[in-house]
Structure 1
Amino acid sequence: MRRILRGTPGKIVQRYASSISRSLRNTTPTAYKILRNAVARVEQIGSLGYKLHLNERERAANEVIMDLKTAEIQRGLLDPAKFSPGHHIFTMLTKIKESPLFNILKSMPKGGVLHAHDTALCSTEFLIELTYRKNLWICITDEGCKAIGFRFSVEEPTMKAMEGCTWEPMESFRERRGEENVRQYLMQRFSMYPFSNFRSNNQAWIHFMGIFILLDGLLLYAPVWGDYYYNALKEFHEDGVQYLELRSLLPQLYCLNGEKLKISDTVALYKSEVKRFVSENPDFIGSKLIYAPLRGVEPKIVDDYVKTCVALNKKFPDFLVGFDLVGQEELGRPLIDFVEQLLKMPEHINFYFHAGETNWFGSSIDENLFDAILMGTKRIGHGYAITKHPFAMNLCKYLDIAIEVCPVSNQVLQLGQDYRSHPAALLIAENVPIVISSDDPSFWRATPLSHDFYFAFLGIGPWSADLRFLKSLAINSIKYSAMQDKEKPAAFKKWQNKWDVWVEEVAKLNNK
């Protein structure tokens, strides 16, 4: 057995793989330990971030981070009730804010968010601030107690959010119900919190989509739309995010007199707000747009989607750069229904398809993964079911297609409860390309990205996942972004500058 000491861990395992089952019981404890260490090492070598090298200051920062991570894990081993990734985020939001590990991750430059939806970005507090804007009306039912919709107008709006609701000036509604009562009510209506006990994925989605519908009249007012997006960039930036790719239905905005603007005006407003924000925050990399209309339509409508996307890309070639279809996969149509239409999309407009956001196996729903890959998607949104399809998973690895993992979203929308059982654990172990994103953080009262990083680091990744893991995720968010290759060096430089400062600040904690 002395020969087992020679060679790399991989060669050691390969050399003895055929005889392990026959000889293992006859080996010595020393030889067994050597072989076991080699097997464990081979598995680690293939995981996300393992091959990344840290410099001296990063190693010092890593000691601080791993001490904090180990402390949280040890507390969880002694008392599982104290381990946040084992519970629903809504029961742990207050506790997580007190976590030293979470606060270090919050300050960390995390690169970019590559999966987020435009009307679910800003904090609940900012949404409530918007309801104090002049000329806002609220449509109410249930004897004036239930909000159905909002609308900005000088006079009482003529359109109804739904049959049977009555318009009332927001100031009057607030006076009648009491300011604090209205604030608490809107806090509840503008998020999924604290509804953690939905009995099904469908129930969660019904409530989820209801928030989008409620917010439309508030956010689609053109002056608010620009302010909302600017504030979203501000909140993401404060959370350690330097780049944002957002998916948008590209709704028509409206003016105070009721006039509706063109879809191209919506894109132009986005672009102008990004330009303004970058000019005021030069360390911010920028933002790009993915046109993402709803998937629950007839194929002929997707033909129109494609034409719209081509026209908008022609007008905004450096900003509107991709296409997706969104909505609940179980109730929407599968991608295979739209292949004929989608293949008409010019190749320079990339696909970034939602696919496999489901617990089903062997259905047309999870098989969206096949069609997304075969149509050349550059990334896959969620991909929650991809570990059930090892060939598709290996194709993603071979073709360098990143999976946009959104841990908190998957939990709130009832795909899984314990982050330790999230399927992305296998993607991490196999080093399938992934990025961590937040999807709709506004609706879970989460930070723009830090909560998702926290759960990925502490719950989904292995105990041994360290600063190399975190750094790899940040790098991936730029590597797999929709930025052109010529744009990425400058983006990496902006991120690296902030990364080095953060590493130094964390490393100094090692001496305290």
Structure 2
Amino acid sequence: MNLLFIISILFCLFFSNIILLPLPFNQYAYMLAREQIRQHDRGVQAQNNLNSKEKVVNLYLELLQAKEYINTKNYFYPSRPIETELENIIKSSFYQFLTLLPKGGNLHIHEFQVLDRKLLLESIKNSPEYDLLYICDQNDCIKNKYHLRYYKDNVPSGWTKVKDSNWTISDIIKKTTLTGILNELKTPIYSTDTEGRWNVANQYGVFNFYDDLIRYNVTRFNYMKLVLDQALDENIQLLEFRRGFFGKLFYFDANGLRIPINESEELDLLLKFKQDYILKNPKFIDFIFLIYSTRQLSKEQIKIDINNLINLQRTYPDFIRGYDMVGEEDQGHTILFHSDSLMNAFNYSKTSNESFDLFFHAGETNWPENHLPSNYGDGVSTFENIYDALVLRTRRIGHGLSLAKRPDMYEYIRERQIAIEVCLASNQILGYVADLRSHPGIVYHRSGIPIVLASDDPGSFGYNQLTIDFYLATMAWGLNLADLKQFAWNSIQYSSLLDDRKTEGFRKWENQWNLFIDSSYTLACNQTFPNVIMNISDILPSYGPYDRSINVTLFGSGFEIAICKSIICKFGEKETNGIFLDINEIICPTPSIHNDLSTVPISIVINNETFQSGLNYKFVSSLSVIDD
């Protein structure tokens, strides 16, 4: 036989991911083959990386998740438009539990689109700024009706003082958040009409709502404190804000005139604010900025933006960490169109001592790769933004939905450890993925591509921070605690923090994680189940060798009563220690030596209470296994 052929066969056997399975010609071989696949799958899901306490908390999470499935199976929230189900999700006990989970960082958020608008408006209502707050409620006073601004005097026509009007905070939210607007439309927009949903958002000024309010220096820092406080309330410790350029901040002088604050002054104020906040809230890790331009801009303007950014980043290398291009990807210029200027940014990144990188929105589209949806006539499809983002060595990919169509690229992305920023709620409300059970993020995750869960524009959409996305992912994808822990870990590992800050970030997150595990472990172990009846419905295999131990799986329901309790498996009168696999499966190892060939009843004992299965296990003399 050809030597090269033999070597290639050996290479495949030793280095491929192929699972060699026995042929299932009998039940014993079937069980072995099935268990090999499951062990491989658990390895992919990282379940084996949980410690003993975490495994108990994972069972508790699984139990809460199962209850949520039962409660919502007829109107499963991740498969329905989020604008109709948002309130139901937030009220659920499973959502409330997930708020407690330390999530690490939120790495894909637009700074002025983060906060639940109700919180900001209530804050303004209880401040002196409420006397300055006006709403445009006429069609001709500004481009976007239902916009808010501050005025001290010289109020233009069409603007109404909110304090003296019939406007309530609830009314304003309905007119200015995408969930509120979609629910008020007389003619609904189809759940996959991406262009229609973007058009409504732009028509109503959804993404510009905060602009003027947050440019006022008093509201600016009140807003930032609310954002950070709310992040900590949802156990988020790191925020990477995408935002436009600095230098638009102002304050009112004694005559009511707006006096501008330049970009250096603004950044210095923000740095001081951050230092003070972390001093008062030591579990918070950091907030940093990725500066963006909108992709609709001309080549000349992008060139100017990048040159300005480079000059600013040299002065604030720990605070300004990267660059992106944003806006509706299908209706803006491609990365290739701006490649000359972006190469300048890339070249700078290689001389910045790892203080600056590129982070591109890319693949936020559901169009085929040969379709050219943009009106800008760039000559390449939106899909190809993925190519150019990779060429420019993007550190992370924002959204990356179209990557699902090119699994041949997964290995390249895995090898280079490029994380995908997955924003489920955003992708659904903007019409890219109607049913989140089909979202490609789970495929990326199971394929070994690092992903981080992020929230994009939650305030503009009508909710707050990141727990919504964790809820949707956990329910739609059937995630476990190991998955959620991995996402949180990824959010620090693939953040743009410098190495020393990253080490400190991991320490702070691990402290919070351990506290969460301890408290959740106590919750799990203190449960009572007065109305739950354990039922063992089947075992696999039902026979096995008498002269060595194998694992027998017990299937059934009501196993949650065994959480935090010892499990004894009985094969007749012989006992072994059981293993709680999940709320529907318990593993019972057979006795290592059984003296005779016999059939015995199987039962389990939990805290001295015996549960009969009504099923038998047979010890046999020999079993054959044939490899495929």
Counterparts of 1:180-195 in structure 2 under 5 Å? 181-194=167-180, 195=182
Does residue 352 (structure 1) correspond to residue 359 (structure 2)? The answer is: yes
Normalising by structure 2, we get a TM-score of 0.72
Which residue number corresponds to residue 4 of structure 1?
none
> Against the structure 1 CA distance between its residues 13 and 261, is the aligned structure 2 distance closer, same or farther, given a 3 Å change threshold?
closer
Which residue number corresponds to residue 299 of structure 1?
299
State the Cα deviation string for residues 193-214 of structure 1 (Å, max 9, x = none).
2316423212211233411223
Which residue number corresponds to residue 331 of structure 2?
331
> Against the structure 1 CA distance between its residues 259 and 207, is the aligned structure 2 distance closer, same or farther, given a 3 Å change threshold?
farther
State the Cα deviation string for residues 231-252 of structure 1 (Å, max 9, x = none).
1111111111011000001251
For the Cα contact (< 8 Å) 1:334–1:365, is it kept in 2? Answer: yes
The answer to which of 210-219 and 492-501 deviates more is 210-219
Which residue number corresponds to residue 31 of structure 1?
29
Does residue 171 (structure 1) correspond to residue 163 (structure 2)? The answer is: yes
State the Cα deviation string for residues 42-71 of structure 1 (Å, max 9, x = none).
344334x345x2222212212211111122
C-alpha displacement of 1:275? 2.1
Which residue number corresponds to residue 500 of structure 1?
514
Does residue 473 (structure 1) correspond to residue 474 (structure 2)? The answer is: no
Which residue number corresponds to residue 72 of structure 1?
68
Normalising by structure 1, we get a TM-score of 0.87
Q: How far apart in 2 are the matches of 1:350 and 1:149?
A: 35
Does residue 122 (structure 1) correspond to residue 115 (structure 2)? The answer is: yes
Q: How far apart in 1 are the matches of 2:71 and 2:388?
A: 44
2:138 to 120, 141, 149: 141
C-alpha displacement of 1:266? 3.7
> Against the structure 1 CA distance between its residues 192 and 9, is the aligned structure 2 distance closer, same or farther, given a 3 Å change threshold?
farther
AA aligned to 1:202 is E
Which residue number corresponds to residue 436 of structure 2?
419
Does residue 106 (structure 1) correspond to residue 103 (structure 2)? The answer is: no
**Secondary structure at the counterpart of residue 171 of structure 1:** helix
C-alpha displacement of 1:10? 9.8
**Secondary structure at the counterpart of residue 448 of structure 1:** coil
> Against the structure 1 CA distance between its residues 283 and 368, is the aligned structure 2 distance closer, same or farther, given a 3 Å change threshold?
same
> Against the structure 1 CA distance between its residues 441 and 189, is the aligned structure 2 distance closer, same or farther, given a 3 Å change threshold?
same
Which residue number corresponds to residue 226 of structure 1?
221
Q: How far apart in 2 are the matches of 1:281 and 1:31?
A: 57
C-alpha displacement of 1:301? 1.1
> Against the structure 1 CA distance between its residues 432 and 276, is the aligned structure 2 distance closer, same or farther, given a 3 Å change threshold?
same
C-alpha displacement of 1:112? 0.6
**Secondary structure at the counterpart of residue 360 of structure 1:** coil
Unaligned runs of 5+ in 2: 1-12, 371-380, 527-628
Q: How far apart in 2 are the matches of 1:213 and 1:487?
A: 33
> Against the structure 1 CA distance between its residues 359 and 143, is the aligned structure 2 distance closer, same or farther, given a 3 Å change threshold?
closer
State the Cα deviation string for residues 7-41 of structure 1 (Å, max 9, x = none).
x999895446xxx9xx77xx334434432443344
AA aligned to 1:103 is Q
Does residue 46 (structure 1) correspond to residue 38 (structure 2)? The answer is: no
**Secondary structure at the counterpart of residue 292 of structure 1:** strand
Which residue number corresponds to residue 55 of structure 1?
51
Which residue number corresponds to residue 154 of structure 1?
152
AA aligned to 2:369 is G
For the Cα contact (< 8 Å) 2:114–2:464, is it kept in 1? Answer: no
Q: How far apart in 1 are the matches of 2:39 and 2:66?
A: 20
1:370 to 364, 387, 390: 387
For the Cα contact (< 8 Å) 1:229–1:270, is it kept in 2? Answer: no
Which residue number corresponds to residue 468 of structure 2?
451
RMSD over equivalenced CA pairs, Å: 2.5
Unaligned runs of 5+ in 1: 1-7, 159-164
Counterparts of 1:84-99 in structure 2 under 5 Å? 84-99=77-92
Aligned length: 478
AA aligned to 1:293 is S
**Secondary structure at the counterpart of residue 484 of structure 2:** helix
**Secondary structure at the counterpart of residue 302 of structure 2:** helix
AA aligned to 1:138 is I
C-alpha displacement of 1:491? 0.8
> Against the structure 1 CA distance between its residues 106 and 15, is the aligned structure 2 distance closer, same or farther, given a 3 Å change threshold?
closer
Q: How far apart in 2 are the matches of 1:12 and 1:492?
A: 31
Counterparts of 1:308-327 in structure 2 under 5 Å? 308-327=308-327
C-alpha displacement of 1:104? 1.4
State the Cα deviation string for residues 436-489 of structure 1 (Å, max 9, x = none).
0111111233331111011111113xx3x3211111111111000000112111
For the Cα contact (< 8 Å) 1:239–1:447, is it kept in 2? Answer: no
Q: How far apart in 1 are the matches of 2:262 and 2:325?
A: 21
Q: How far apart in 2 are the matches of 1:59 and 1:317?
A: 41
Which residue number corresponds to residue 249 of structure 1?
244
> Against the structure 1 CA distance between its residues 233 and 411, is the aligned structure 2 distance closer, same or farther, given a 3 Å change threshold?
same
**Secondary structure at the counterpart of residue 115 of structure 1:** strand
**Secondary structure at the counterpart of residue 359 of structure 1:** coil
Which residue number corresponds to residue 259 of structure 1?
259
Q: How far apart in 2 are the matches of 1:129 and 1:320?
A: 31
Bigger Cα Rg: 2
The structure whose residues are more often helix, as a share, is 1
Quote the sequence identity (%). Answer: 27
State the Cα deviation string for residues 140-176 of structure 1 (Å, max 9, x = none).
3159999443332321246xxxxxx62333333x2xx
> Against the structure 1 CA distance between its residues 267 and 295, is the aligned structure 2 distance closer, same or farther, given a 3 Å change threshold?
farther
Q: How far apart in 1 are the matches of 2:68 and 2:241?
A: 33
**Secondary structure at the counterpart of residue 114 of structure 1:** strand
State the Cα deviation string for residues 278-330 of structure 1 (Å, max 9, x = none).
12101111111000121111111111111111111112111001000110001
Which residue number corresponds to residue 577 of structure 2?
none
Q: How far apart in 2 are the matches of 1:143 and 1:339?
A: 39
For the Cα contact (< 8 Å) 1:353–1:377, is it kept in 2? Answer: yes
> Against the structure 1 CA distance between its residues 111 and 188, is the aligned structure 2 distance closer, same or farther, given a 3 Å change threshold?
same
Does residue 435 (structure 1) correspond to residue 452 (structure 2)? The answer is: yes
Q: How far apart in 2 are the matches of 1:211 and 1:263?
A: 25
For the Cα contact (< 8 Å) 1:293–1:305, is it kept in 2? Answer: yes
C-alpha displacement of 1:103? 1.4
**Secondary structure at the counterpart of residue 242 of structure 1:** strand
AA aligned to 2:135 is I
Q: How far apart in 1 are the matches of 2:14 and 2:93?
A: 36
AA aligned to 1:69 is Q
C-alpha displacement of 1:391? 3.1
Please list every run of at least 4 consecutive aligned residues from structure 1 whose deviation after the TM superposition is greater than 4 angstroms: 8-16, 142-148
For the Cα contact (< 8 Å) 1:322–1:351, is it kept in 2? Answer: yes
* Bigger relative CO (Cα 8 Å, ≥ 6 apart): 1
